[in-house]
């Protein structure tokens, strides 16, 4: 049976937390590993991508006796946005330093700069020993073409097709990636990502603050998703705190995520992107609270694997 396979590599927001008190849910920042149609799609490049890279490198080494007899690593990385907790693992993605690797990166451009220009400056020019041009792999950075779907063919070739001209029935063997831009996350917005394959749908919506009554356009985008991975950085109490309210920070509460999943008629919801101050004890308490509601939502945990 054809499946979309998902592994949570990093579920934390804002910054990594290397503490014993955060081991159960995990301390790495945002990264989700997705396999669809034999293609590796990586959602965000927080510190969670580093363990993924080690696993890929190990498999590569075991696949042959030398560089060119080994199976090359091919991956597509979709960045929701380029805040630090979503890109800080990219320099340490070890397959980048294997010449046979191909990594295609897609994400939001800035009005005055392309994604390539931004990532080159932020990650490689001033804060890393190598420049972008010195990376030995086939490392390509592209602006995601909004109003288009990124289609990955069975042979791995990729092309953008205008959504206005798109008929999903013509792409039964393809992996289809589309995006929804929210402007509710400062300062330049964030992409929510939808992956469709063989009638199954995964929606990844991090760094997305909901509205009262939900974001109607996003509800339409995510409608009927088999799995919705949704930002749930704050409790409602922290969100409306009289001392340090979080409204306008660009993140949702657990209740907002639950309401969004309900209106979108998502079959399964995973809470994601937890505040680094929420240790295992707090998240255990919240898991018990939402479990008592019998709402079917689950708490994403590092290394949790699911099949859709």
76-132 tens-digit pLDDT: 999 999 999 999 999 999 999 999 999 999 999 887 899 999 999 999 888 899 999
Beta bridge partners of 31: 10
State the pLDDT confidence band at 294, using cuts at 50, 70 and 90: confident
Neighbours of 299 (CB within 10 A): 20
Query: What average pLDDT score do residues 140-149 get?
Result: 96
66-92 tens-digit pLDDT: 998 999 999 999 999 999 999 999 999
State the pLDDT confidence band at 150, using cuts at 50, 70 and 90: very high
Please, what is the Cα angle at 7 between 207 and 249, to 5 degrees? 10
Which pairs with CB-CB distance under 8 Å and at least 24 residues apart come from 304-307?
304/7, 304/8, 305/5, 305/6, 305/7, 305/8, 306/5, 306/6, 306/227, 307/3, 307/4, 307/5, 307/6
Three-class SS of residue 274?
strand
Beta bridge partners of 201: 196
200-249 tens-digit pLDDT: 999 999 999 988 778 899 999 999 999 999 999 999 999 999 999 999 89
Question: What phi and psi values does residue 202 have, to the nearest 5 degrees?
Answer: -115, 130
Q: What CA–CA distance (Å, rounded) separates 170 from 273?
A: 35
Q: Note the Cα 84 to chain centre separation in Å.
A: 14
pTM of the shown model: 0.96
């Amino acid at each position: 049976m054809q499946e979309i396979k998902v592994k949570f590599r990093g579920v934390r927001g804002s910054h990594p937390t290397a503490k014993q008190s955060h081991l159960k849910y995990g301390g790495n920042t945002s990264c989700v590993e997705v396999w669809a149609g034999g293609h590796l799609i990586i959602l965000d490049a927080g510190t969670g991508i580093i363990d993924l890279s080690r696993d890929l490198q190990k498999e590569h080494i075991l696949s042959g006796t030398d560089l060119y007899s080994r199976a090359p690593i091919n991956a597509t990385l979709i960045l929701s946005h380029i805040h630090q907790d979503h890109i800080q693992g990219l320099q340490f993605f070890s397959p980048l330093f294997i010449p046979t690797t191909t990594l295609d990166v897609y994400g939001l451009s800035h009005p005055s700069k392309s994604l390539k220009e931004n990532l080159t400056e932020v990650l490689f020019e001033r804060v890393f020993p190598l420049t972008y041009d010195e990376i030995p792999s086939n490392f390509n950075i592209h602006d995601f073409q909004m109003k288009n779907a990124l289609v990955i063919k069975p042979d791995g070739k990729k092309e953008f097709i205008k959504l206005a001209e798109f008929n999903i029935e013509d792409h039964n063997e393809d992996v289809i990636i589309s995006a929804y831009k929210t402007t509710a996350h400062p300062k330049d917005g964030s992409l929510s990502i939808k992956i469709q394959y063989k009638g199954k749908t995964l929606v990844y919506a991090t760094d997305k603050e909901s509205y009262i009554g939900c974001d109607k356009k996003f509800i339409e985008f995510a409608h009927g998703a088999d799995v919705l991975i949704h930002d749930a950085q704050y409790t409602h109490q922290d969100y409306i705190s009289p001392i340090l309210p979080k409204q306008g920070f660009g993140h949702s509460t657990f209740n907002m995520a639950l309401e969004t999943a309900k209106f979108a008629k998502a079959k399964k919801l995973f809470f994601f992107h937890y505040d680094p101050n929420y240790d295992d004890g707090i998240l255990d308490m919240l898991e018990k609270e939402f479990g008592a509601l019998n709402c079917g939502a689950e708490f994403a945990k590092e290394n949790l694997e699911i099949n859709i």
